Structure 1
């Protein structure tokens, strides 16, 4: 099975890419399973051209194609779906511009589950903390992205709850024919296009693979304000898709993470960070709760709370 050749495209939405982005492209080009094409869905051409000024990007990276769109045109689900339409691969991989492949086996490891189980619709990668990550962020990454791989389907819902649907487009591979059969990503969404798709796949009888051997460096040191806004958008997303999320509430999973993180901080002799954890967790919960009730809030307040303000235009 592992000898089967698959054509794989990589889709990367970008907005104001920084100096680390060219390194990401170089690492993708050096993969043991080489991408057929790297499809960049870039928001605002001027920022992309500014990063690459003085370089011959097209000549140096012939397998890369760039599609520009305006900020108003960008959408978490719709933009990735448009990228999928440009793909001619058997599999397409969605990545974010700040996900850095940890080694040259990322694509090979990420797509391997498709070869061993034809019921797998999606495979997502392990996210490793970056060097500047704090203790809380490091533990959170290890909690959400453990060392052991797993496969999730309907059978796991009673045990895993909302985590059955967990999937991340920071780095995730999609089997193209199943993607088309299921109708692809929801076109207009503020957040969670990956989990919404994964949930639909599970409910249709397909499976989700977590491929721990596929690794990318990706983490954030969000402030409490940023945590609030990010989780507000998460709450909005869940309120808009009650058919998926109402039966598997995520609050209990969040509380479990908080308790285990606090225990970890005490175990590593950093109890003072528990205060920071409580503040961040409070911001997350408040943002999430308000987001789930956004329909009863004033429009101006909703936009002020949101991380993705252009969604409300």
Structure 2
């Protein structure tokens, strides 16, 4: 049987040294990349050296005003003729040569699976608390999530991350693709709609990328504000599904893990960060009641509001 084709789609903004590592990681995959489609924000920041790869690559430049988390990725998807679309971010590095192969295996295990996303492993410089968050959100065991899992998993039923996620192109187009204007969270919005229509989303623990951030409490506040705005804007997906319970469970599990690591004093930092995350989430949920100047100070995407 002929191998299914995979196009990799990456939104880029000022790619640096990590870009070369990402290209090398994609070049060495056991499942070859058919084409690499790069949606680069800011042509002035792009260098010809960034295109040095054995993978067929095409680069499309756009301005900061034109970039949108959903629309930009959707534009790239519609340029593809491949069987599968693999969306990645420029700071996600394949952990080994089997990333694409394992994602294809996960998406092909059942006909009704429409998407599969990879496990994210912490970087070497990852802080202790964030290391546990990676374990919590990306466990060692794979699973496929269906609508029937909603009572057990809640909001995590719809979880999917375009840091590294694969979609069946024909189904993606059939369902309308990513929402064309969104502040954030285009992956979960699409995955939620996918699951509501009877399809499954596979979490492929064997497909691994190295990706983590050491966000400050204020950065977490901004991020959670935008996350909650995206949920408030899409009640057709998120209405009636509470996220707070999952957040509380993460805090409790992290506190216990920090104590077991012999670092109980870090629980104070955990409470501080979690408080800012929760405040950002609460304000984002109620953003329609906030004056514009407050929104401008809460968001991490000011251009979205212009």
* TM-score, normalised with respect to structure 2: 0.98
Cα distance, 1:115 vs. partner?
A: 2.2
- In structure 2, the residue matched to 1:134 is 127
Distance 1:298 1:251, change over 3 A: same
- In structure 2, the residue matched to 1:152 is 145
Cα distance, 1:290 vs. partner?
A: 0.4
1:217 aligns to 2:210 (yes or no) = yes
Task: Return the alpha-carbon distance in structure 1 between the equivalents of residues 109 and 161 of structure 2.
Answer: 21
Task: Return the alpha-carbon distance in structure 2 between the equivalents of residues 155 and 60 of structure 1.
Answer: 43
* 109-118 vs 191-200, which moves further: 109-118
Cα distance, 1:64 vs. partner?
A: 1.2
Unaligned runs of 5+ in 1: none
Alignment partner of 1:183 out of 151, 172, 176: 176
Task: Return the alpha-carbon distance in structure 1 between the equivalents of residues 263 and 10 of structure 2.
Answer: 37
- In structure 2, the residue matched to 1:78 is 71
Cα distance, 1:310 vs. partner?
A: 1.3
- In structure 1, the residue matched to 2:87 is 94
Cα distance, 1:164 vs. partner?
A: 0.4
1:247 aligns to 2:237 (yes or no) = no
Task: Return the alpha-carbon distance in structure 1 between the equivalents of residues 268 and 150 of structure 2.
Answer: 33
Task: Return the alpha-carbon distance in structure 1 between the equivalents of residues 105 and 121 of structure 2.
Answer: 20
1:34 aligns to 2:32 (yes or no) = yes
Cα distance, 1:171 vs. partner?
A: 0.1
Tell me the matched-pair count: 306
Cα distance, 1:89 vs. partner?
A: 0.5
Task: Return the alpha-carbon distance in structure 2 between the equivalents of residues 47 and 158 of structure 1.
Answer: 46
Cα distance, 1:154 vs. partner?
A: 1.0
Task: Return the alpha-carbon distance in structure 2 between the equivalents of residues 143 and 62 of structure 1.
Answer: 34
SS at match of 1:117: coil
Alignment partner of 1:194 out of 187, 191, 197: 187
Alignment partner of 2:20 out of 19, 22, 36: 22
1:307 aligns to 2:300 (yes or no) = yes
Cα distance, 1:304 vs. partner?
A: 1.7
1:3-14 mapped onto 2 (5 Å cutoff): 4-14=2-12
Q: Confirm or deny: 8 A CA contact 2:179 2:190 kept in the other structure.
A: yes
Unaligned runs of 5+ in 2: none
* TM-score, normalised with respect to structure 1: 0.95
Task: Return the alpha-carbon distance in structure 2 between the equivalents of residues 270 and 58 of structure 1.
Answer: 45
1:67 aligns to 2:65 (yes or no) = no
1:284 aligns to 2:282 (yes or no) = no
Task: Return the alpha-carbon distance in structure 1 between the equivalents of residues 139 and 260 of structure 2.
Answer: 19
Task: Return the alpha-carbon distance in structure 1 between the equivalents of residues 206 and 62 of structure 2.
Answer: 34
- In structure 1, the residue matched to 2:46 is 48
Task: Return the alpha-carbon distance in structure 2 between the equivalents of residues 28 and 239 of structure 1.
Answer: 36
Task: Return the alpha-carbon distance in structure 2 between the equivalents of residues 242 and 60 of structure 1.
Answer: 42
Distance 1:82 1:126, change over 3 A: same
